[in-house]
Amino acid sequence: MFEQVFTLLAGTLYGLVIGLIPAAGATTGLVALFSFIGIFGDPYLGVIFCMAVVAASTTGDTYTSVLLGIPGANSAAATVVDGYPLAKQGKATLAITAAVTTSTVNGIIWGLLTFTLLPWYTNLIMILGIPELWAFTILALATVGFVSNRWWFRSLCAIAIGLFIGAIGVDPNTNADRFTFGWQYLGDGVQLITLVAGLFAIPEMLEGFTRGQLATHRPQNNTSQTKQGILEVWRYKWDALRGGFIGAFVGMLPGLGGAMSDWMSYGATVAAHPDKKFSTGEIVGVIGPEGSNNAQKATSMIPTVLFGIPGASFAAVLMALFMYLGFELGTPDLVYDTRFFSSLTFGFMWATVIVGVFCLVFTPYISRIAYVPYKYYFPVLLAFIVWSCVQYTGGWEDYVMLALCSVLGILAKKFKFSRAALLVSFILAQRVENLTRQLVSLYNIETLITRPIFVIVILASVALLLYGVLNKNKLEYS
Amino acid sequence: MKQLFVALVIALGATTASADYTMVVPQKPGGGTSVWAEIVAGELERFLDEDINIVHIPGARDIPGFNTFHNEMQFDDKTIMVSHGGNGVSFLQEDVDYNYADYTSIGLMNLNIIAGKNRGIDLDYGGIRFAAGSGMVPEAFAMTMLVCGPDKSVDEYVECFKDNVTWVKGMSGGERRLAFKRGELNGTRENPAAYKKHVESDDNAEVWFHHGILQADGSHADDPNYPGYQFEILFEQRWGVAPSGEFYDAYKLVKSFRDGLQKALWVRSDNPNAQRLQQALLEMSQDSQAIAVIRDKVGDYEWIIGADGNAHRDTLMTFITQTALQNLVKFNTQALGLDSVYKPQLAKDD
């Protein structure tokens, strides 16, 4: 038992540190594990460590999103929109406490549901065929209206740019390079972490550095903010639970991609509160998306474990690590390995709880970084971001790509092109294309209209898209 | 500016690790060959008594990594290239820089690929729904011949394929498995270890055919794990004659390069460390503990090491003829919609 607890604590600590590094989320933390995953003599300890990293990094990545306006990971980008303005108003502890509480509660709820019922989810996923997955992807794309800003033409351009960048790589039809401009490096597409870092992290850091900006000048009453943060979660409990539900559902869909869920939750929160001025520091704008990311991490394990289909980018790396440990995910007989499942549950659940408590206790102190001028930690942040982005190949191309994405991010911020809409479009571009090809190959309109889930989700997508586009309550955030 | 410089130096330093040998993997961490390389490198280090650093050079269809090895990294005496079956297929039909003839084999794994189908249906009469991809080309050839029979031109095979096969593009390996379980696809394929786990355990699935195991003399032998299901045997049972002709030669070419080079380690042809590496790999392959680790994690496959590996590669090279290459490219482009390139410089004259 001592070994399990020690491994859990080590994984939790490592995950928390990774979560605190801007742009480096669970995926980066897991990639870095390849160099020492072999040290686990007992492979089940490796499973505990990996799951603790996933849970802890997901909660920890809220900090830089709120304090610095830099997404702690892909799945925490939406938290920036209202979290960072709150920090500027001297309410960093409030925002982080609310975020951590929401994340922890949803992590526990959906973690328990996932790991307890995991072997029985097979039947559920089996009824969702290619048409339903396509429809859910379209539904996700429809949320782009809610995360666009009030400059609609520029938002439209941002969507087009996102779709174009998402189409860079291999054409699934011919298997040939597409939009790579003869640069082989682009053959594998633009990496998500690099785009997120370039779009969000670098522009915010540069602004903070060049202006010598402090996140806040106001003194903070951190103790009362901690209490208030928890109360705000109770006040907006349905938003928190809805965020968790959306995150859990998106995570469960094979291959949809976890970075999507927080934007969908954010969009749903915006739609549910037409009276609020989002992107100016609404606490519910933090609670909504933060509900989704831990829930999504938990349920992503369903398609990953049962079918070997990563539910998110972190899950793809996790699959490889588990294979290294001797567990091939997607293998039917793994479902009967009770020790494997108890290790998954133990690592994820306890790390969620430990990090939640840790963050609630120490957030008032960590939040004081908001008083420190950027210039003192800019080099360290930049070093961490660069490190995260060069985990892909480590070659000069990674640096060039980060520079290009940064230029795009800086221009988008300056000229108010919606970076959120650009990112959502990028994430979904390839998925929509591939599923559309599968759909038209195997189905026709006669067979599709006989599938009730497909029809309902498509109608919902159309309604959501129209509502989102016509919604007057547009974000200021770009 | 000074702070910025320091930050970049720190970041650069964090990504650089020192080791005695470098193993180049043409994928990002997490890919199947990356995992294989991590495991084999971990075991090989013990017999080499030196560290091996894995360098990932990912890119489209895993070509850029192998190209980089060919153009730059092979000239370092301590650099080893890891390739997989997909590289073998790309070598035949894409514009790549690398050429197996230029290297010395340290060792390779030769294996078979098994195709499965939904139980009880007879796909040899058409109605096939199968996941596409350049790695599926040998399956496309085999199913076309099984359905369409002997003595046809490539054009006729192309038309027959289009009439009988729904070639579903844009699917990952996991999605393919799930779609097969759900019945959206009625055929699939796996390597032997994955087949046991994903298809054999499925009550609704059964063996359709396999490609056979490449022998030293260039023939393909039946797989003792799935006796009687080799493509050549099934074809003869169905059509009364053994498969032959130009289309069959193209099939034999592409399946041999994919399955016969499923996982392989290469160094420059005059690399002074080649013999030492071969010896270490030989010792590793004879060590029950090391092999048990590799078998548990990536499957139980036969190793072909050193001179035998070079001979195996030389056998493969004899399959490359102008006609086989032309027919491979023609079927790829016209039937499968792949952007293939005919490379006459690869082939000997017919």
The complex's ipTM works out to 0.83
What is the percent of chain B where pLDDT is above 90?
64
Percent pLDDT > 70 in chain A is 87
Q: Taking CA atoms, what residue in A is nearest to B39?
A: A324
Residue A219 scores a pLDDT above 70: no
Q: Are strands B52-56 and B21-25 parallel, antiparallel or unpaired?
A: parallel
- Mean pLDDT score of chain B: 88
pLDDT band for position A315 (cuts 50, 70, 90)? confident
Alpha carbons within 13 angstroms on the beta-carbon side of residue B98 total 29
pLDDT of residue B52: 93
Residue numbers in B near A129 (CB within 8 A): 179, 182, 184
Nearest CA in chain B to A256: B175
User: At A194, is the pLDDT very low, low, confident or very high (cuts 50, 70, 90)?
Assistant: confident
Q: Distances in Å between the alpha carbon of B78 and those of B35, B57, B100?
A: 21, 17, 18
Band of pLDDT at residue B283, cut at 50, 70 and 90:
very high
* Partner A contacted by B61 (CB < 8 A): yes
CATH topology of domain B114-257+320-346: D-Maltodextrin-Binding Protein; domain 2 (3.40.190)
Contact B28 A169 (CB under 8 A): no
* Residue A330: pLDDT over 80: no
Chain A touched by B57 (CB under 8 Å): yes
pLDDT at A333: 63
Minimal CA separation from A163 to chain B, in Å? 17
Residue B25, pLDDT above cutoff 70: yes
Q: Domain B2-85+93-109+261-317 classified CATH 3.40.190.150?
A: yes
Cβ atoms A358, A59 nearer than 8 A: no
Residues from chain A that touch B60, judged by Cβ atoms under 8 A, are 169-170, 177, 180, 184, 187-188
- Note whether B92 contacts A: Cβ–Cβ < 8 A: no
The verdict on a CB contact (< 8 Å) between A392 and B28 is yes
pLDDT at B4 over 60: no
Lookup: tokens for A467: 């509502």
**At residue A222, does pLDDT exceed 70?**
no
Stretch A123-148: mean pLDDT: 79
Q: Which one, of A346, A309, A340, lies nearest residue A327 by Cα?
A: A340
Which helix (DSSP H) or strand (DSSP E) does residue B35 occupy?
A: helix B32-48
Per-residue model confidence as pLDDT tens digits over B81-94: 999 999 999 999 99
- CA A86 – CA A309 distance, rounded (Å): 38
Whether A215 is covered by a domain: the verdict is: yes
Is A423 part of any domain?
yes
pLDDT (0 to 100) of residue B14: 44
* Reported confidence tier of residue B2, pLDDT bands at 50, 70, 90: very low
Which of chain A's residues have a Cβ under 8 Å away from the Cβ of B167?
441
Cβ distance A72 to A25 under 8 Å?
yes
Distance CA B207, CA B209 (A): 6
Same fold: B2-85+93-109+261-317 with B114-257+320-346: yes
Residue position matching structure tokens 């320091």: B6
- Per DSSP (E only), the strands in B145-288 are 165-168, 187-190, 205-210, 213-214, 220-221, 263-268
Q: What is the pLDDT of residue B349?
A: 62
Average of per-residue pLDDT across B33-39? 86
Write the CB contacts of A7 (distance below 8 Å, at least 6 apart in sequence).
A40, A45, A48, A49, A52
B8 touches chain A (CB under 8 A): yes
Structural domain includes residue A253: yes
Q: Does B218 touch chain A (CB under 8 A)?
A: no
When pLDDT is averaged across residues A114-119 and rounded to a whole number, the result is 77
Find the closest chain A residue to B56 by CA distance. A393
Mean pLDDT of chain A: 82
> Do A187 and B59 lie within an 8 Å CB cutoff?
yes
**Residue of A17, A21, A125, A175 to mutate for B, most B C-beta atoms under 10 A:** A175
In this model, does residue A24 exceed pLDDT 70? no
CB-closest option in A34, A173, A326 to B297: A326
CA angle A113, A117, A118 (to 5 degrees): 105
Q: Quote the tokens at residue B62.
A: 């895993």
Query: What is the number of structural domains in chain A?
Result: 1
SS3 assignment, position A34 = coil
List strand residue ranges (DSSP E) for chain B, in order.
Answer: 21-25, 52-56, 79-84, 103-110, 114-118, 128-131, 165-168, 187-190, 205-210, 213-214, 220-221, 263-268, 302-305
CB–CB contact A130 B198 (8 Å): no
CB atoms < 10 A from the CB of B44, how many? 26
pLDDT at B145: 97
Cβ-based contacts of A379 with chain B (< 8 Å): 3-4, 6-7, 10
| Mutation for A interface: B162, B172, B175, most A CBs within 10 A | B175
Contact B201 A176 (CB under 8 A): no
Q: How many CA atoms lie within 13 A of A13 on its CB side?
A: 6
| pLDDT of amino acid A387 | 80
> Is residue A161 over pLDDT 90?
yes
How far is residue A310's CA from residue A254's CA, in Å, rounded to a whole number? Answer: 7
Q: At what angle do helices B32-48 and B288-298 cross, to 10 degrees?
A: 170
Which member of A255, A379, A393 has the closest CB to residue B175?
A: A255
pLDDT band at B50 (very low <50, low <70, confident <90, very high): very high
Structure tokens belonging to residue A216: 């806040």
CB pairs under 8 A between A and B: 169
pLDDT value, residue A221: 62
The whole domain housing A8 covers: 2-470
Query: Residue B10: is its pLDDT beyond 60?
Result: no
Query: Is pLDDT at B8 greater than 50 in this prediction?
Result: no
CB of A322 within 8 A of CB of A274?
A: no
Residue in chain B lying closest to A390 (CA): B15
Q: Whose CA is closest to A179, among A429, A458, A476?
A: A429
Give the neighbor-by-neighbor strand order of the sheet with B21-25: B52-56, B21-25, B79-84, B263-268, B103-110, B302-305
User: Would the pLDDT of A73 be above 70?
Assistant: no
Which of A66-75, A415-424, A459-468, B191-200 shows the lowest mean pLDDT across its residues? Answer: A66-75
- Residue A474 — pLDDT band, cuts 50, 70, 90? low
Measured distance CA(B111)–CA(A315) in Å, rounded: 28
Q: Is it the case that residue B348 has pLDDT exceeding 90?
A: no
Contacts of B61 in chain A (CB under 8 A): 170, 175, 187
Residue B12 has pLDDT above 60, yes or no: no
Tokens of A136: 């859910």
The residue to which tokens 């032997």 are assigned: B192
Q: Does B167 touch chain A (CB under 8 A)?
A: yes
pLDDT 10s digits, A261-304: 888 888 889 888 888 888 888 999 999 988 888 888 888 888 77
The three-state DSSP-derived secondary structure of A366-391 is HHHHHHCCHHHHHHHHHHHHHHHHCC
Q: Which of A190, A393, A437, A444 to mutate to test the interface with B (most CBs of B within 10 A)?
A: A393
CB distance A73 to A19 below 8 Å: yes
The alpha-carbon gap from B112 to the nearest alpha carbon of chain A, in Å, equals 20
- pLDDT at residue B108 above 90? yes
Q: Is residue A475 part of a domain?
A: no
Backbone phi and psi for residue B213, each to the nearest 5 degrees, phi listed first: -110, 125
Q: Using H for helix, E for strand and C for coil, what is the string for A48-101?
A: HHHHHHHHHHHHHCHHHHHHCCCCCCHHHHHHHHHHHHHHHCCCHHHHHHHHHH
Average pLDDT over residues B4-12: 44
Q: In this model, does residue B175 exceed pLDDT 80?
A: yes
By the 8 A CB rule, do A56 and A74 touch?
no
The rounded distance, in Å, linking the Cα atoms of A39 and B42 is: 11
- Decide if pLDDT at A49 tops 70: yes
Report the residue from A309, A375, A383 with minimal CB separation from B178.
Answer: A309
On whether any CB of chain A is under 8 Å from the CB of B1, the answer is no
State the smallest CA–CA distance between residue B219 and chain A in angstroms.
Answer: 30
**pLDDT at residue B180 is higher than 80:** yes
Chain A: residue whose CA lies nearest to B181 = A126
Cα–Cα distances in Å, from A330 out to A114, A296, A334, B133, B265?
A: 16, 19, 8, 21, 28
Q: What is the DSSP string of A157-197?
A: HHHHHHHHHHH-EE-TTT-SEES-TT-GGGGG---HHHHHI
Domain segments of chain B: what residues?
2-85+93-109+261-317, 114-257+320-346
Nearest neighbour of B174 by CB, restricted to A35, A307, A320: A307
A257 in Cβ contact with A303 (< 8 Å): no
Tell me, rounded to whole angstroms, the distance of Cα B147 from its chain centroid: 24
Whether the CB-CB separation of B99 and B91 falls below 8 Å is answered with yes
Mutate to test the interface with B, among A206, A322, A335, A438 (most CBs of B within 10 A): A438
| Distance from the A55 Cα atom to the nearest Cα atom in chain B, whole angstroms | 20
CB contact under 8 A, A383 and B59: no
